[in-house]
Amino acid sequence: MLALFALWWRLSSGPIELDIATPWLTAAIKENLGAGHEVEIGGTQLERDAKKGRTSLRIRDIVVRDADGTIVASAPKAEVGISGVSLLLGRIRAERLSLVGAEMAVRIESDSKLTVFAGSNKRPFVTASAASAPAPSQPIRSPANAERAAAAARPEPPASAAPLAPAAPASVRSSVPDLAALIAWIERLDASGLDGRELTEIGLQGGNLTVDDQRNGKQWTFTNIDLSVTRPKGGGIAVALGSHSLERPWHLRAAMTPGQQGHRIIDIETQKLSTKDVMLAMRLNADQYESDLPLSGRIRADVGPDGIPYMLDGRIVVEKGLIVDLDDPLVRVPIDRAEISLDWDKSRRALVAPFQVVSGGTRITLLAQFESPHDGSGIWGLQISGGGAVLASAPVDPHALVLNRVLLRMRINPAKQRIDLDPSEVGNTDLGIALTGSLDFSGDDPRVTLGFASTRMSVAAMKRLWPVTVASKVRAWVVDHVQAGTIERIDISTNAPWSTLKSSGPPVPDDGLLIQLTGHGGEMRPVEGLPAIRDADVNLHISGRTAVINIGRGNVDISAGRKLSITNGVFEVPDTFPKAPPAKVRFRLDGSVPAAVELLSMQRLRDFSGAPIEASTSRGTLTAQVTLALPLKEDLAPGSSLYTVNMDIANFAAERMVMGQKVEAALLKVSANNLGHWIRGDVKMNGVPSVLDYRKPRDGDADVRVQATLDENARSKFGFDLGGVLTGPVPIKLSGRVAANDGDSRFAVEADLTQSKVDNLLPGWVKPPGRPGRATFTLIKQPPATRIEDLVVEGAGTSVKGTLEVDAAGDVVSANFPVFAVSDGDKATLKAERGADGALRVSVRGDVYDGRGFVKSTLTGPANSKQKTDKDVDLDIKIGTVVGFNGETLRGLDLRLSRRSGVITSLALNAKLGRDAPLTGDLRGRGSNGRQLVFIESNDAGAFFRFTDMNSKVAGGAMWVALDPQSADLAPQEGILNIRDFVVRGEAALERVAAAPEQAGGGSPGVQFSRLRVEFTRSLGRFTIRDGLLKGPTIGGTVEGYIDYHRDEVRMRGTFVPLYGLNNMFGQLPIVGPFLGGSNEGLLGVTYEVVGPPSTPVLRVNPISAVAPGLLRKFFEFPGGNAPMPAQSYAEPAGRY
């Protein structure tokens, strides 16, 4: 005991080297292998096997060579068991040999021959062939039979030839030689030992095994496996194969032992064996289906000498896994658990196999019965019945389908290699399915014939019953996109080769598959992310590879109160064979515009439709023809579907549709596809009749073309309120692009200005209606600014070219007009730029400029208070010659003006007028209060009045004008006009009153005046004159009235006082002076009036008024045009009379 304990303690610390036993072991192994083999051993050691809990004798670096010296086996270690009998007889022989950590390979040759390699692939270590199998009718002898040893020493006679059977499929035919080879190998092992003598166990520990099947090119590898082949003492053979891998351990144990009277007892047990490996080993459709299911169970059988089982029972459990079609990822069958029980009924010669399969919410519990042939026909019977099935997508499924009536009857004829499905049925109390068909596998390509007919059922039931392997792509689409409905009938017929029904096989013939389905009340969602079609009438027709779904009518509920109706719908898959078969959809859509807009605004279509309107601000009814093209595949990516929409919209209206404007139309045509949409028709944009052509590409800016005629109201609606500088209708043509986001919107604009009136649209440009005029430019909107480029204005004598930029408020940011000719003969340029302080700095340079329009607008002021003017502006004008009215010009004009907050803050005017008379202007303080006034003076008043077209009959005179600067609110301006020493020529009535003598030749020197003083008020387009006083050596007078430039009217009145100096003396007398004419009139006088246009007024006098002295003359005055105005005291500038 002490010695054994010491040995155990020594082995626990490591192996014990026993090189002394190496020669004996070498001789023993060589004896087992027989003559012609050489064995080399690197060393011997005694060590403890931790896994098996036993002490083992192991050799290191074993190498086996054949007679040619070629290595046939090698291993880093081997465990050897020595036969005790051979040890006593002095002839050491091994009875147990296991290679440790070896690389082994099994190759199945094309003729089903088994070849085993151990550490080398040059020469086989073990071979087995079907040719060595005994005849099937030969009884199996008991291992106790004494003749076994002699039989093992003699070569076995060749097996008798079996009758040829009809050709079977490869998987069936190949199983026969496989089984024959295996049985032959087992018989030899049982008869003569694993080495033909005393070797009872060979194996592999912790090694790697590679199986190479040359018949189908498949190869699979097992790592870290243990393999043991044992010949029990009672006879037979036992095989144990497994892996202790931590990721997935598995084990297979099989034993065949002799029974009484020639019977064989078979016991097979598995633990978590992969069905994938089993199918690869048996070559059962491994090319198409892959199943990775852990298989555990045990089968026991007692097989008689005639090969018929006397007893067979067992239980097989399949754990959670997945079955997939390698060629079609849509075909996926998850298995949670399956259990099969086996029980052989010897009296009926039938195998009873109740089974249950659980897959998610699906539970199938049925009974299968295999009946062996009774009448010698060789036909097996299979019946599946009993129990039932619950088909559901989840354990708790309200739409679960319960089938409690299942009866499937089949006949299996191995001789004809045919399986017939006799009339069978599946159903419950609500639905029924009739089945019939056959499978003929006598040829190279088995042929499937199937008939399927059903009664009324729900869509949910139909989806549960549709096999995943039948038209898988169409089925996947139906499962995902069809939610509800009632199926009136389903008819399915198949007559096609099996290969055509596989996803990896050739296409199904046109007459090989026919599916017809009719239903109503359907609910489907053709495209994920879009609303479902409800209440649809559906008709499905699948013929061969073509699938067509017709929808007679249906409704699409967009949201509460918004609905679209769909009719004449067709969903077509022309060819279901490709991996992602293309589908075509077409239908008609009717409904309201808000519903369609909301549909296009959904996430699925938003990026492609680019709908320019909103559902809440639109109205109208539409009729649309829609076509779609999309592939049938999982996770349909945005953009993978193609669509085309042609739409007619009646009574349409939408806010902010084009360029932010409201669009209305009695009939509008809209076309859309993946590339964009197109809108065209006669519309009203903000109430303005227009012709619209709007194209919006998917990934680009919209192209728009508009033709319209804009009046003042229309221009104001479009945001072009020009405040009276442009009046009348303007036909325009606009074309360009509208930026999708924050980019530039660019438009080419053509405007016909012939029928419009222009009043200083550009400085100094005045055009009456009817005079030809045209403007073209490129409008660029880049928020917040708007640029006008390539501006060309052409008309009668007008030519302006340049660029302009305005901000969001419409204020000019910059302008550049290198050509600025508002009249024929003008040569000028204009530049403007807004400075950092917000003031617009305008610079005008030129040789000649027609200033008549500018002068007139300056005198009259803006046409109305809405006309927009800059409050902060700096003017710098230098022009050689400015053309005025009546042939007068300004020469060497130099004008600088600054205005802030609408008030002039500085003014400097210098020019030559008439015969080189200076014309100056500036700001001066006024009287005692120091207010700033605009002060203009010249030594040629007549030239000034002719230049401004105020009066062409005044000659000479020194003048000055004092005027309030214009305010920001355009309030009336008060002013004084004072002229000295001037002459009025050409007024015959005035000359008659003054009794002016005629000059030689018939001419008249005119009427001289020494002074004219007038107070006036300048308002919008109107000068109101009051308290006017004329003084001269021969005549004087008074004046009051108005000049209205907007109405082109002059109306003034007053009194001419002849012999003014003498006549006025009576009016200066105290107390009686006012009755004798007043301070500004005289005792005698003549009333007059001036009426007509400002350019050609007419003077008329009343001679009867001359006989009415003093106060009585008031009764003969002409009617006045002025409203009563309060008297105002207006002091003159200091130093002026």
| Per-residue confidence (pLDDT) for residue 296, from 0 to 100 | 93
For residue 743, give both structure tokens. 């980019």
Q: What is the pLDDT of residue 158?
A: 36
Find all residues with CB under 8 Å of 843, minimum gap 6, and list them.
830, 831, 832, 876, 877
Highest mean pLDDT among 253-257, 607-611, 722-726, 1110-1114: 253-257
Distance CA 911, CA 252 (A): 120
Element (H, E) at 543: strand 533-543
Average pLDDT for residues 463-491, to the nearest whole number? 82
The conformation of residue 506, written as its DSSP 8-state character, comes to P
Distance of CA 591 to the CA centre of its chain: 25
Q: Which of 229-243, 486-500, 628-642, 1045-1059 has the highest mean pLDDT?
A: 486-500
Residues in contact with 886: Cβ distance below 8 Å, sequence separation at least 6, in sequence order = 946, 947, 949, 952
Contact 79, 97 (CB under 8 A): yes
Task: Quickly state the pLDDT bin for 121 (edges 50, 70, 90).
Answer: low
Region of 452 (left: φ > 0; alpha: ψ -120 to 50; beta: rest) is: beta
The predicted model gives 1075-1090 an average pLDDT of 66
Cα dist. 946→81, 454, 812, 885, 886 in Å?
A: 142, 107, 34, 6, 6
In this structure, the number of other CB atoms found within 10 A of the CB of residue 709 comes to: 14
Q: Which pair of tokens denotes residue 1126?
A: 């309060």
Using the 8-state DSSP alphabet, how is residue 1076 labeled?
Answer: G
Residue 212 and residue 227: Cα distance in Å, rounded?
Answer: 17
Q: What angle do CA 63, 64, 66 make, to 5 degrees?
A: 145
Helix (H) or strand (E) segment spanning residue 28:
helix 22-33
Cβ-based neighbours of 454, under 8 Å, separated by 6 or more = 431, 432, 433, 434, 465, 487, 489, 490, 491
Give the percent of the chain with pLDDT over 90: 23
Amino acid present at 425: E
137, pLDDT greater than 60: no
698: pLDDT strictly greater than 70: yes
> Cα–Cα distance between 264 and 254 in angstroms, integer?
13
Checking if the pLDDT of 1000 tops 70, the result is: no
Does position 596 have pLDDT exceeding 90, yes or no?
A: no
Residue, of 629 and 374, whose pLDDT is higher:
629
647: pLDDT strictly greater than 70: yes
pLDDT in tens, 880-920: 999 999 989 999 999 999 998 888 889 999 999 988 999 99
Beta strands in 133-217 (DSSP E): 201-213
Domain ranges of the chain: 584-691, 895-996+1006-1116
Mean pLDDT, residues 165-174 taken together: 38
Per-range mean pLDDT, top range of 280-289, 721-730, 993-1002: 721-730
Range list of β-strands (E), 346-478: 350-359, 362-371, 380-391, 401-403, 405-413, 418-427, 432-440, 447-454, 457-458
CA distances for 546 relative to 500, 514, 585, angstroms = 14, 9, 14
- Which pLDDT belongs to residue 453? 93
The pLDDT assigned to 167 comes to 37
How would DSSP label each residue in 106-137?
Answer: EEE-TTS-EEEEES-SSS-SEEE-GGGPPPTT
Q: What share of the chain in percent tops pLDDT 70?
A: 77
Q: In the structure, what pLDDT confidence band is assigned to residue 843 with cuts at 50, 70 and 90?
A: very high
φ, ψ (nearest 5 deg) of residue 13? -95, -5
pLDDT of residue 862: 61
**Which has the higher per-residue pLDDT, 803 or 991?**
803
Instruction: In whole angstroms, give the CA distance from residue 642 to residue 407.
Output: 47
pLDDT (tens digit per residue) in 853-875: 888 777 776 655 555 566 789 99
Q: How far is CA 893 from CA 781, 850, 890, 920, 1075, in A?
A: 37, 12, 6, 10, 50
**Token pair for residue 568?**
């004449």
* Mean per-residue pLDDT of the chain: 79
96-113 residue pLDDT tens? 777 787 777 778 777 767
User: Quick one: pLDDT at residue 165?
Assistant: 35
pLDDT at residue number 103 = 79
Whether the pLDDT of residue 997 is over 80: the answer is no
Longest dimension (CA), the chain: 185
pLDDT for 913: 92
Least reliable range by pLDDT among 337-346, 821-830, 1030-1039, 1103-1112: 1103-1112
For 398, half-sphere exposure in the C-beta direction (CA atoms, 13 angstrom radius) is 1
Mean pLDDT of 377-383: 89
